[in-house]
């Protein structure tokens, strides 16, 4: 049965809309997370604040950061690397602020997919929801494969058939699923701590290397030498666009804190706190970490040409350690990369299963997908995801890499569409909220940058799609346009278009968007709006110019 009532698109009567508003529950919440009748109740709220914060800080630190950044460094140079990651970091900061406002207001299952259905258009929500689910379904076997191939960094690991490691990792992921969302949260908590600790450790080490403090490094003081020779930028504007795209993919998974809102014990408190941690990840880990990588690793290092996928031996972090002549540490850091890859695989099982469960529950997918057992596990969705994990055995075939390329192409642009949809959903929600007589003072949490921040975030996502189109059509290196190479990078766009058209025809709803006055702004709404209103009024009374600096600090930290 659907979580949401039928949403009107061509004008609801005042009586019908009045009935929707009468659904508001006046009772106060138990732990600040009560939702009104019709909200998600099947999934267990087992994710605590510490889980949410570590998912936000370290959830998306994976092979894209540790390995893929090396390919970006050699393609665009250290200058392009830092600038591109700063721009994408700003885009994600704006996007996550918008998502936090929506997720705190509506801590419902499906998160950004359901927001698109309610505030933009059901067909667009269907298209982005299924593309997001497909993305994580197809990424899982790739990540399992990457983890298995990472073992080949060691000689004995390389001598073992890759299928053995695939089996071990699949069994481990299945075991995590037995414990439901709590298992996912605990595993991510531990792995995120390891990744964050390793990244901070590398930042300290890179500073020492750059200052010439490593006795085994015969380069001495390095400073900004590599920014001058071979240079800060490589391959011109096309090289920058290529890095722009790589940076975008490296941030994939940032939105998982919003998806986890339906299973957070206290979304009112944990989601804003987790969202603010994105600032730390962007500024400290990505920007500072990669800036230091560009200082200690020359962008023309031949090993960087192979820095992609599971080629952890060519990770710029590992290369930096090897160039400094430090023994044993490359192996230790390779373990960190292995755990990072497994962390992404763990996130795959969570993101895909929860999205499919929400699609099934809202009648946008097979109804059996909506089933959740007594322990809060969407069993059918879990089985489907694990079944996709068995595709990792394709690597035993000689054509395995080609098959994986096309599987990943199905959802290669999903992140951009999801992030852009979050920003647009926020803009449309604000319009509907205002049109139906509500004020911003009623919102439990307001995006710090408001609607203007979401507009900038949406624009940057569109620019990402344009940059990806440009690089896919005209690859770096001067190669002529190639249809196969183009669709390997851009196949997700026609897929989303096909899904959009399919639901338009299936539902026979040919409206372009939901009018602000017809939006459903009550289902799944937090029940303590009266209390929230009083808190907002108190904040407004105590606000003033002298409090502005501290207000900015609290908004970020």
Contacts 24+ apart (CB under 8 A), 154-158: 154/331, 154/334
Among the listed ranges 225-229, 261-265, 482-486, which one has the minimum average pLDDT value? Answer: 261-265
Among the listed ranges 235-239, 265-269, 409-413, which one has the minimum average pLDDT value? Answer: 265-269
Beta bridge partners of 526: 35
pTM: 0.82
Q: Average pLDDT for residues 192-198, to the nearest whole number?
A: 84
Closest CA to 308 of 404, 376, 394: 404
Beta bridge partners of 47: 264
- What confidence score (pLDDT) does residue 207 get? 93
Contact 116, 129 (CB under 8 A): yes
Contact 36, 267 (CB under 8 A): no
Which residues have CB under 8 Å from 454's CB, separation 6+?
94, 95, 97, 98, 423, 424, 426, 427, 447
- What confidence score (pLDDT) does residue 25 get? 28
377 against 299, higher pLDDT: 299
Q: Average pLDDT for residues 433-446, to the nearest whole number?
A: 82
Which residues have CB under 8 Å from 151's CB, separation 6+?
157, 158, 160, 165, 338
Dihedrals φ, ψ of 380, to 5°? -65, -40
Domains of the chain (ranges; CATH) run 43-556 (1.20.1740.10)
Q: If you average pLDDT over each of 13-22, 131-140, 299-308, which comes out highest?
A: 131-140
Q: If you average pLDDT over each of 154-158, 167-171, 520-524, which comes out highest?
A: 167-171
SS3 call for 201:
helix
- What confidence score (pLDDT) does residue 303 get? 84
- What confidence score (pLDDT) does residue 259 get? 66
DSSP string covering 430-497: HHHHHHTT--GGG-SS--TTHHHHHHHHHHHHHHHHHHHHHHHHS-TTSPPP-HHHHHHHHTHHHHHH
Q: Average pLDDT for residues 71-79, to the nearest whole number?
A: 88
- What confidence score (pLDDT) does residue 527 get? 62
Ramachandran region, residue 126 (left: φ > 0; alpha: ψ -120 to 50; beta: rest): alpha
Does position 13 have pLDDT exceeding 50, yes or no? no
First-to-last alpha carbon distance for the chain, in angstroms, is 40
- What confidence score (pLDDT) does residue 502 get? 92
Dihedrals φ, ψ of 303, to 5°? -65, -30
């Amino acid at each position: 049965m659907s979580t949401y009532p039928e949403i009107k698109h061509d004008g609801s009567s005042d009586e019908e809309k009045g009935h929707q508003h009468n659904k508001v529950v006046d009772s106060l919440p138990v732990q600040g997370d009560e939702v009104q009748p019709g909200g998600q109740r099947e999934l267990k709220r087992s994710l605590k604040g510490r889980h949410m914060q570590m998912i936000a800080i370290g959830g998306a630190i994976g092979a894209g950061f540790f390995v893929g950044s090396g390919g970006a460094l050699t393609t665009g140079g250290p200058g392009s690397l830092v600038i591109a990651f700063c721009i994408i970091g700003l885009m994600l900061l704006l996007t996550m602020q918008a998502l936090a406002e929506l997720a705190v207001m509506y801590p419902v299952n499906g998160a950004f997919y359901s927001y698109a259905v309610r505030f933009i258009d059901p067909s667009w929500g269907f298209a982005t929801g299924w593309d997001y689910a497909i993305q994580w379904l197809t990424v899982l076997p790739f990540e399992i494969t990457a983890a298995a191939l990472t073992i080949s960094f060691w000689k004995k690991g390389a001598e073992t058939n890759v299928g053995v490691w695939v089996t071990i990792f699949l069994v481990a992921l299945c075991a995590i699923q037995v414990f439901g969302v709590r298992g996912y949260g605990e595993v991510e908590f531990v792995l995120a701590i390891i990744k964050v600790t390793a990244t901070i450790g590398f930042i300290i080490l890179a500073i020492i290397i750059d200052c010439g403090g490593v006795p085994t490094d015969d380069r001495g003081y390095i400073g900004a030498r590599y920014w001058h020779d071979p240079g800060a930028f490589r391959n011109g504007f096309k090289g920058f666009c290529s890095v722009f795209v790589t940076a975008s993919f490296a941030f994939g998974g940032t939105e998982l804190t919003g998806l986890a809102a339906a299973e957070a014990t206290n979304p009112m408190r944990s989601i804003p706190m987790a969202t603010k941690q994105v600032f730390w990840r962007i500024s400290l880990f990505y920007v500072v970490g990669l800036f230091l990588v560009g200082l200690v690793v020359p962008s023309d290092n031949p090993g960087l040409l192979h820095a992609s996928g599971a080629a952890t031996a060519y990770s710029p972090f590992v290369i930096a350690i090897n160039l400094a002549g430090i023994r044993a540490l490359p192996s230790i850091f390779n373990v960190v990369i292995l755990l990072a890859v497994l962390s992404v695989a763990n996130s795959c099982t969570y993101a895909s299963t929860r999205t499919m469960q929400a699609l099934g529950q809202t009648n946008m997918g097979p109804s059996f997908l909506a089933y959740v057992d007594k322990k809060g596990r969407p069993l059918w969705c879990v089985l489907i995801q694990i079944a996709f994990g068995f595709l990792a055995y394709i690597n035993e075939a000689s054509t395995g890499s080609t098959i994986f390329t096309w599987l990943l192409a199905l959802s290669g642009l999903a992140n951009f569409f999801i992030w852009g949809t979050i920003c647009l959903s926020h803009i449309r929600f604000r319009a509907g909220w205002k049109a139906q007589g509500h004020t911003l003072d009623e919102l439990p949490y307001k995006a710090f940058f408001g609607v203007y921040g979401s507009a900038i975030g949406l624009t940057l996502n569109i620019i990402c799609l344009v940059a990806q189109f440009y690089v896919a059509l005209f690859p770096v290196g001067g190669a002529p346009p190639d249809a196969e190479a183009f669709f390997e990078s851009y196949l997700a766009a026609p897929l989303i278009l096909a899904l959009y058209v399919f639901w338009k025809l299936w539902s026979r709803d040919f409206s372009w968007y939901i009018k602000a006055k017809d939006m459903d702004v009550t289902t799944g709404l937090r029940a303590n709006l009266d209390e929230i209103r009083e808190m907002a009024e108190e904040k407004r009374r105590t606000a003033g110019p002298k409090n502005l600096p501290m207000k900015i600090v609290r908004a970020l930290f």
